[in-house]
Amino acid sequence: MTGEDAAPAGETGGAGGLDETDRQILAIEAMQWKYQGAKEMEIRRRLGLSPTRYYQRLNVLIDTRAALEHDPLLVGRLRRQRGAQE
């Protein structure tokens, strides 16, 4: 495979073009959180990311076709929430 044939960063991986971290991010976003601190602790425990890095990656992730195909309802909701905050 040549460099031109390689998938763009963030678009590689298993099912639906998402890597394991991307799928974990979407799974975390799909969960209901009673306390904000609990979500942040789960982000660090499960992914080893700071919350800031997590949300940066999430913001890029929800703009990908692979994420939309993986969970269209969740991604649509996250896009609407992001739009309402701007």
Contacts with 66 (C-beta within 8 Å, 6 or more apart), sequence order: 11, 16, 17, 18, 22
pLDDT of 15 > 60? The answer is no
In a domain, 4, yes or no: no
Interior angle at CA 45, CA 43 and CA 16, nearest 5: 55
Q: Quick one: pLDDT at residue 51?
A: 94
In the block, tokens 């982000």 appear at: 43
In a domain, 57, yes or no: yes
Domains: count for the chain: 1
* Selected residue with higher pLDDT from 7 and 41: 41
Q: Are 56 and 82 in contact (CB under 8 A)?
A: no
* Selected residue with higher pLDDT from 16 and 3: 16
Q: Are 40 and 85 in contact (CB under 8 A)?
A: no
For the stretch 16-71, pLDDT in tens is: 689 999 999 999 999 998 987 999 999 999 999 999 999 999 999 999 999 999 99
Structural domain boundaries enclosing 62: 18-85
Q: What is the pTM of this model?
A: 0.76
Q: Quick one: pLDDT at residue 86?
A: 63
In a domain, 7, yes or no: no
